[in-house]
Amino acid sequence: MNYVQFYYPEGFAHCYGCGRLNPEGHQFKTYWDPEKRESRTEFTPKPYHTAIPGFVYGGLLASLVDCHSTATGSAALKELESTPWDQGPYPRCVTASLEVQFLKPTPLGPTLVAVGRVLERSERKVVVGTEVYADGVLTVKGKAVVVRIPEGWGG
Ligand SMILES: CCCCCCCCCCCCCCCC(=O)SCCNC(=O)CCNC(=O)[C@H](O)C(C)(C)COP(=O)(O)OP(=O)(O)OC[C@H]1O[C@@H](n2cnc3c(N)ncnc32)[C@H](O)[C@@H]1OP(=O)(O)O
């Protein structure tokens, strides 16, 4: 199964967090499950993504929630189109607002799993709720408002 960011137009594929064309970036990859209507992004932080030794830097966690949310919004807007899910391009969203709750310190080492759900969707805006788990423990919660970049703007 290909990931959402795989279908972004080339001009929108350079994001430091999730751009497939940015070799220096995190290259987050988000998968959308059309049955469950749930998204999933997995990422294993590197040793240098440290806050206090042993724990993940919060900015990285916020980035994960950010890009995971734009991808979830993209998949949710793609559902409104008549083209099949495996035919790009996907709509590209930009984050208008991002809330992150750091519930517990996130241990450095395990693969992080971000799970997203669509809380609201209109033709232009999607509100995404995200939970991030480390070793099955919920450590971060996020909520983002993402807005579709109009056709013809870049890309
Ligand atoms: C026409 C403009 C095109 C711009 C095209 C930009 C292209 C940019 C290219 C970047 C491509 C790579 C993106 C990488 C992914 C990131 O890294 S995203 C992180 C950085 N984010 C940014 O830099 C975004 C900067 N902000 C903006 O560009 C504009 O404020 C936004 C977000 C596009 C909104 O534009 P706007 O035309 O003012 O939108 P507006 O019609 O007022 O609002 C649309 C809806 O969003 C809601 N909303 C807007 N802002 C907020 C907010 N802060 N809190 C809650 N809700 C909000 C509104 O209430 C409205 O909701 P509804 O009334 O439809 O229910």
Q: For the segment 109-141, what is each residue's pLDDT rounded down to a tens digit? A: 999 999 999 999 999 999 999 999 999 999 999
User: Tens digits of per-residue pLDDT, 28-57?
Assistant: 999 999 999 999 999 999 999 999 999 999
Residue 113 in domain: yes
Q: Is residue 154 part of a domain?
A: no
Do residues 61 and 102 make contact, with C-beta atoms less than 8 angstroms apart?
yes
Q: With respect to residue 143, please indicate whether it lies within any of the assigned structural domains.
A: yes
Number of Cβ within 10 Å of residue 135's Cβ equals 12
Q: What is the ipTM of this complex?
A: 0.89
136 Ramachandran zone, left/alpha/beta (phi>0; psi -120 to 50) = left
Residue 155 is assigned to a structural domain of this protein: no
Residue 128 lies in a domain: yes
93 domain residue, yes or no: yes
Which residue, chain included where needed, has tokens 């294993």?
Answer: 44
Q: Which residues line the pocket of ligand 1, CB cutoff 6 A?
A: 12, 15, 70, 94-97, 122, 124-125, 145, 147, 149-150, 153-154
Strand 38-43, strand 125-134: pairing: unpaired
How far, in Å, from the CA of 134 to the mean position of ligand 1? 30
Residue nearest ligand 1's atom 27 by CA: 96
Question: Do the beta carbons of residue 141 and residue 130 sit within 8 Å?
Answer: yes
Instruction: Return the best residue to mutate from 94, 121, 149, 151 for the ligand 1 pocket (most ligand atoms within 8 A of CB).
Output: 94
**pLDDT 10s digits, 45-89:** 999 999 999 999 999 999 999 999 999 999 999 999 999 988 999
CATH number at residue 73: 3.10.129.10
Structural domain count, the chain: 1
* Domain that residue 31 falls in: 4-148
Ligand 1 centroid vs 149 CA: distance in angstroms?
Answer: 8
Q: What amino acid occupies position 151? A: E
Cβ burial of 121 (10 Å; 0-12, 13-18, 19+) is middle
C-alpha gyration radius of the chain: 15
Residue 36 alpha carbon to ligand 1 centre in Å: 27
Residues 6+ apart with CB under 8 A from 89: 7, 8, 9, 155
